Amino acid sequence: MPTQAEPCTNSLPDACAQVPISDAEIVELASAFRFYGVWRITLDTSLFYGSPSIFRIFDMEFVDGPMNLVELTARIHPEDLPMLMQAFERISTSGETYHAIYRVRIGEGRYKFVRTVGRYRKTSQGLGEIIGITYEFFAQQRTIDFFLDDGSDEKLR
């Protein structure tokens, strides 16, 4: 079920004189009905840092410092993890922006869909890091639940 990681080719929102909208307003509108978290991976140390919302999306207890990658990856569906790791590899080598849709465990045998979008950037010290956002696909999960007549999630495995 994992979807392929794809490069993103969309440009920034096309605000113009007829539709004056700020970056802050775009973020506010985009996050009004979806739960977003932000994160970064330092490429020289491979440490993964996340906002409190990232911890919530992955149902992990927040810590002030790097996330536990063993715990984090254990929550990603095993079929989806290689595709996600491949996307991070592509970001770090190509510098492009990629996105991936994958499943995160929400209980014994149940998963929710999330989307991660990430890109490469240089830090002020000249080191590389990957920054990104991750958000939940609430509407898609509700649609899937509607069509599963027996309440099982067998089709999601």
Cα(121)–Cα(128) distance, integer angstroms: 6
Q: Which ranges in the chain belong to alpha helices (H)?
A: 23-30, 52-57, 69-74, 81-94, 138-147
Domain assignment present for 14: no
Overall number of domains in the chain: 1
Domain assignment present for 10: no
* Domain of residue 96, CATH code: 3.30.450.20
Cα(75)–Cα(41) distance, integer angstroms: 18
Per-residue pLDDT of 29-86, as tens digits, reads 887 877 889 999 999 999 999 999 999 999 999 999 999 999 999 999 999 999 999 9
pTM: 0.76
Domain assignment present for 5: no
Q: Is the pLDDT of residue 144 over 80?
A: no
Domain assignment present for 78: yes
Q: Which residues does 48 contact at the CB level (< 8 Å), separation at least 6?
A: 39, 40, 41, 66, 67, 69, 72
Domain assignment present for 150: yes
The token pair at 109 is 């045998």
The token pair at 111 is 């998963």
Note down the domain range covering 88: 21-156
Domain assignment present for 89: yes
Domain assignment present for 12: no
